[in-house]
Amino acid sequence: MHREPRTEDPPRHAAAPAAGRRRVIAGLLAAASLASPALAQDYPTRPVRLIIPFPPGNLADLTARLAAEEIQRRLGHSWVVDNRAGASGGIAIRAVMQAPPDGYTLLLSSVSPIAVNPVLTANPGYDPLRDLAPILLMGWTGYLLVCSPDFPAKTLADVVQVLRAAPAGRYAMATPGSGTVTHLASEQFMLQTGTRMETVPYRGSGAALMDVASGRVALMIDAMSTALPQARGGQVRALAVMQQRRSPLAPEIPAVSELGVPEIAGMEVRAWTGLLGAAATPPEIVEYWNRELGKLLAEPAIAERFAAQNVEVAPPEPAARFRELIAAELTRWRRVVRDARIEVQ
């Protein structure tokens, strides 16, 4: 028997499209939920090229080769180290920016190309926070404030008092080169302590430390990897580790926060290294390396291998924390460049 449809009955011809739409939406949601695990499971299927912005032997290069060896041994993945020195790190960074953002070309860099060169160069050709995806802070070496053995003060507080009372030009600070972390840290030290010394650039830390040892230059802030052997050998005198806590690499040397000079008690100078990708690297790949490399670096045996190279491994943290560190470093060094009136090239 035929029945006229009532107004409250839904039209039969609308049911099929609505059901179809529901099935399509459900399918899309299911596909989205499976996308991340599938990507992580299928990656990596070939060697990952790891670009280093320095020649072999640099801190970033040593860190990369140690990590590559352990990743191959423990995870079965291959990292091929590719040294691309030049343009203060710009050549390596642009190579990563221009590569497909598929996780097969990554950057392992120290602090200078990421947070120092961009504030000293008017047009470096890249913006670290816009063009790169921070993945993991891997480790660092601390910085020591050292002086010549015959400097006329023994404690850090007394050294600062001597510097404040000295006439302009009486003392100088050595650096391994203009535009380095040591150079900017030296300027920050002088700005915050109210002292004024000439910064004397050398071609590397070795020659600079020799002149500090001989008394030709009074002071130097230098990476622990080069300054610590000189301090332990008695050629220079270590006044402080330039960070908030003592370093496990040199627990006998007090942290700058302990020494009664409040103007610089908050200084934190570290030559860190970290892993980054191109800005459009999929979040799943960022998370993959953050997780797997973080687990590897947390192993005591790996920490010992890094410590043998004067590198302290960083505690595992999300990629977002590494991005925050880079942003903070850029802000800090920009302020030092501005306040010290360092010329931007």
CATH of the domain at 325: 3.40.190.150
Reported as a pLDDT band with limits 50, 70 and 90, residue 195 is very high
- Does the pLDDT of residue 273 top 80, yes or no? yes
Expressed as residue numbers, the domain containing 288 is 48-140+270-339
E strand or H helix at 65, and its extent? helix 59-75
Q: Do residue 59 and residue 110 come from a single domain?
A: yes
Q: How many CB atoms lie within 10 A of CB 55?
A: 11
Residue 29 confidence (pLDDT)? 38
Q: Do residue 100 and residue 181 come from a single domain?
A: no
Judged on CB neighbours under 10 Å (0-12, 13-18, 19+), 23 is exposed
Asked if 273 contacts 129 with a C-beta cutoff of 8 angstroms, the reply is no
CA 165 from centroid of its chain's CA atoms: 36
- Does the pLDDT of residue 158 top 50, yes or no? yes
Over the stretch 124-146, which tens digit does the pLDDT of each residue have? 999 999 999 999 999 999 999 99
Task: Write the DSSP assignment of 271-340 as a string of letters.
Answer: EEEEEEEETT--HHHHHHHHHHHHHHHTSHHHHHHHHTTT-EEPPP--HHHHHHHHHHHHHHHHHHHHHT
C-alpha to C-alpha distance for 177 and 218, rounded to whole angstroms = 16
C-alpha to C-alpha distance for 118 and 90, rounded to whole angstroms = 9
Q: Do residue 252 and residue 159 come from a single domain?
A: yes
Instruction: Provide the number of structural domains found in the chain.
Output: 2
* Higher per-residue confidence, 339 vs 30: 339
| Side chain identity at residue 205, one-letter code | S
Q: How many residues does the chain have?
A: 345
Asked if 265 contacts 256 with a C-beta cutoff of 8 angstroms, the reply is yes
Q: What is the value of pTM for the model shown?
A: 0.84
Residue 248 confidence (pLDDT)? 93
Q: What are phi and psi of 223, to 5 degrees?
A: -60, 145
Asked if 278 contacts 99 with a C-beta cutoff of 8 angstroms, the reply is yes
Q: Which of 201, 230, 264 is the last residue of a domain?
A: 264
Q: Which of 264, 281, 305 is the last residue of a domain?
A: 264
| Side chain identity at residue 55, one-letter code | P
> At how many degrees (to 10) do helices 156-165 and 181-193 cross?
70
